[in-house]
Amino acid sequence: MPFSSMVPTHCTLDGFVLEPGCTEGVALQSLKDGTVFSVITRHSSYRLVVVDPVQQRVLVTGGRLFPERTELRLEGATAGGSLIKIGWIGVGLRFEMSLGGQRITTSRVESITIESVPPLRSSRLIF
């Protein structure tokens, strides 16, 4: 039996890329510092504020683990296996965060809503 027929498609890199959550979602690096967005998962809701999109740092509130605003690293999206799409939150996938050495994986994401985007800072001087 060939190896490819023994491994479920969603557990392979090619199969993971075809997951709907790999195309419908948000890349943290595409957001500006201060952007506020909410993520509703199957079991919880979270409110996130982008602190540093390049370093993937966010402030998160919500779920049972974060009753108060906590700064952590948003690792990315996963289908529940070892594959992860770094810096991504995708509808239909779970998202992973890390706090210190602890990894936290949510239930499947049902929706993502951008609540507010900080205004552009003007470099023009007004006299």
Q: Where are the domains of the chain?
A: 7-24+34-116
pLDDT at residue number 1: 45
Q: How large is the average pLDDT for residues 55-71?
A: 96
Rg (CA), the chain: 17
Contacts of 122 (CB under 8 A, 6+ apart): none
The mean pLDDT of the chain is: 83
More confident position, 117 or 59: 59
pLDDT at 69 over 50: yes
* Residue bearing the bigger pLDDT, 49 or 21: 49
What is the rounded average pLDDT of the residues 75-97? 90
79, with CB counted inside 10 A (0-12, 13-18, 19+), is buried
Give phi and psi for 16, each to the nearest 5: -60, -40
Alpha carbon distance 120, 13 (integer Å): 38
pLDDT at 13 over 80: no
Is the pLDDT reported for residue 100 higher than 60?
yes
What whole-number distance in Å separates Cα of residue 52 and Cα of residue 35? 10
Of 1 and 30, the one with more pLDDT? 30
pLDDT at position 14 over 80? no
